[in-house]
């Protein structure tokens, strides 16, 4: 067991204290601090990026070769942590709690945690399991003054956490599975820009992820959260199925075939797609095709008929009808407007 004591006032000190125990090298790139480790203790990276409105994006993208306990003293720095586990799992308890009170953050689960002043957070990270844990840490005073005004976006319970500027109380919320958030967290890795563009793109994703955490908490506190009988692995299968549809957009998918390929009943497929994407399977396929069609019209010289057949439709009139319903303009008008913009440029 590796035990890491953290009593830092900022991210730089935190990285240094972790490095002193597990080794590695701390570097900075485009404002992002990176602790890279490749030794007998761990392999991977811990990354952090601070924003001027009171938030910090912290990512564990690492495999530890021994169990790790992170004991964080909240005396000097006590943010609200919005945590999401994309890969693997981890555990948490407050310092005053017994080991029997340890709670497990499972894959695809949304969690919000805040400690009391002069308290301790105990985080537990397993050995031999690749971890990808996304943490958005929010300094409540700075965040409230810069972003929320009177906090209308928060329900009463969470709003009190933000207003607890003296850090007198603890707070923990373990939400249900959220695979929509998985797509946003995954997209952070796909940001390839450098410099200020990279920071702005990451900041936009942080806003979206944070908003999704808050919205999920609001809905579930009001008993409007998603209720499902689907297991985590079944939700994961549905997410993979959605990606397969996007990658094979012209294929003539049928509900029966998808059910046979995934091993899920048609009822579970419909339930899962409604839960994750707010669409039936058919609606999801149609929407995905329309988005591809829009991009093809916008970025290629294909005519409308070519676009229609390339995305798996057989009726140009039907395609034109649903395209206009979605975008408020016919495919031909959209193509003409693109051509006019190109000439004017």
Which pLDDT tens digit goes with each residue over 318-345? 999 999 999 999 999 888 876 554 444 4
Q: What is the pLDDT of residue 119?
A: 81
CATH of region 2-221, choose from 3.40.47.10, 2.60.120.10, 2.60.40.420, 3.20.20.100 = 2.60.120.10
How high is the mean pLDDT of the chain? 85
Q: Could you tell me the residue ranges of all domains in the chain?
A: 2-221, 232-344
Percent over 90 (pLDDT), the chain: 42
Q: How confident is the model at residue 285 (pLDDT cuts 50, 70, 90)?
A: very high
Distance CA 264, CA 147 (A): 43
Q: How confident is the model at residue 53 (pLDDT cuts 50, 70, 90)?
A: confident
Among the residue ranges 145-154, 191-200, 271-280, 331-340, the one predicted with the least confidence is 145-154
Phi, psi angles (nearest 5°) of residue 74: -90, 10
Exposure class string for 67-103: b at 16+ Cβ within 10 A, else e? ebebebbbeebbbbbbbbbbbbbbebbbbeeeeeeeb
Helix and strand numbers (H, E) in the chain are 12, 13
Q: How confident is the model at residue 80 (pLDDT cuts 50, 70, 90)?
A: confident
Average pLDDT over residues 240-261: 90
Average pLDDT over residues 278-298: 92
Q: What is the pLDDT of residue 179?
A: 78
List residues bridging with 58 in a β-sheet: 48, 135
Q: How confident is the model at residue 69 (pLDDT cuts 50, 70, 90)?
A: very high
The strands making up 171-177's β-sheet, listed across from edge to edge, are 25-29, 32-38, 42-51, 55-64, 131-138, 80-87, 109-114, 171-177
Average pLDDT over residues 95-109: 89
Q: What is the pLDDT of residue 338?
A: 63
Name the 3-class secondary structure at 97. coil
**CA-based nearest residue to 114, from 83, 156, 84, 86:** 83
- CA distances (Å), 176 to each of 15, 84, 207, 227, 267, in order? 30, 11, 20, 9, 21
Q: What is the pLDDT of residue 96?
A: 87
Domain 232-344, what architecture?
Answer: Orthogonal Bundle (1.10)
pLDDT at 261 exceeding the cut of 80: yes
Comparing 144 with 301, which gets the higher pLDDT? 301
**Chain segment 194-221, per-residue pLDDT in tens:** 888 888 999 999 989 988 888 888 777 7
3-state helix, strand, coil in the chain (%, to 5): 45, 25, 30
Helix axes 331-344, 316-327, angle to 10 degrees: 70
Q: What is the pLDDT of residue 167?
A: 60
Average pLDDT over residues 298-319: 91
Phi, psi angles (nearest 5°) of residue 167: 55, 50
Average pLDDT over residues 68-75: 90
Average pLDDT over residues 309-318: 92
Average pLDDT over residues 33-59: 93
Exposure class string for 191-210: b at 16+ Cβ within 10 A, else e? eeeeeeebbebbbebbeebb
Q: What is the pLDDT of residue 344?
A: 42
Q: What is the pTM of this model?
A: 0.70
Per DSSP bridges, beta strands 68-73 and 120-125 are antiparallel
Q: What is the pLDDT of residue 150?
A: 47
Sign, CA dihedral 167-173-174-178, equals negative
pLDDT at 112 exceeding the cut of 80: yes
Q: What is the pLDDT of residue 345?
A: 41
């Amino acid at each position: 067991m590796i035990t890491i004591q953290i009593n830092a006032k900022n991210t730089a000190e935190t990285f240094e204290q972790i490095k002193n125990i597990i080794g590695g090298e701390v570097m900075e790139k485009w404002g992002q601090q990176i602790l890279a480790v490749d030794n007998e203790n761990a392999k991977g990276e811990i990354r952090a990026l601070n924003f001027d409105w009171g938030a910090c994006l912290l990512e564990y993208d690492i495999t530890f070769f021994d169990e790790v306990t992170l004991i964080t003293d909240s005396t000097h720095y006590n943010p609200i942590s919005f945590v999401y586990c994309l890969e693997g799992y981890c555990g948490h308890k407050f310092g005053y709690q017994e080991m029997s009170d340890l709670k497990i953050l499972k894959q695809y689960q949304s969690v919000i945690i805040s400690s009391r002043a002069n308290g301790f957070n105990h985080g537990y990270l397993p050995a031999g399991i690749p971890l990808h844990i996304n943490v958005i840490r929010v300094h409540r005073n700075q965040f409230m003054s810069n972003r929320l005004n009177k906090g209308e976006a928060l329900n009463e319970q969470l709003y009190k956490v933000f207003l607890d500027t003296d850090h007198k109380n603890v707070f923990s919320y373990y939400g249900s599975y959220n695979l929509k958030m998985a797509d946003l967290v995954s997209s952070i890795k796909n940001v390839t820009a450098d410099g200020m563009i990279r920071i702005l793109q990451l900041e936009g994703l942080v806003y979206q992820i944070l908003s999704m955490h808050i919205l999920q908490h609001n809905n579930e506190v009001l008993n409007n959260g998603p209720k499902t009988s689907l297991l985590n692995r079944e939700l994961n299968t549905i997410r993979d199925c959605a990606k397969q549809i996007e990658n094979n957009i012209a294929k003539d998918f049928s509900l029966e075939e998808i059910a046979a390929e995934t091993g899920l009943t048609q009822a579970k497929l419909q339930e899962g797609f409604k839960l994750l994407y707010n669409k039936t399977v058919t609606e999801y396929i149609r929407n995905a095709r329309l988005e591809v069609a829009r991009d093809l019209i916008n970025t290629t010289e294909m005519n409308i008929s070519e676009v229609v057949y390339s995305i798996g439709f057989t009726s140009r009139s039907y395609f034109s009808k649903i395209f206009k319903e979605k975008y408020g303009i016919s495919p031909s008008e959209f193509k003409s407007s693109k051509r006019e913009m190109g000439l004017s440029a």
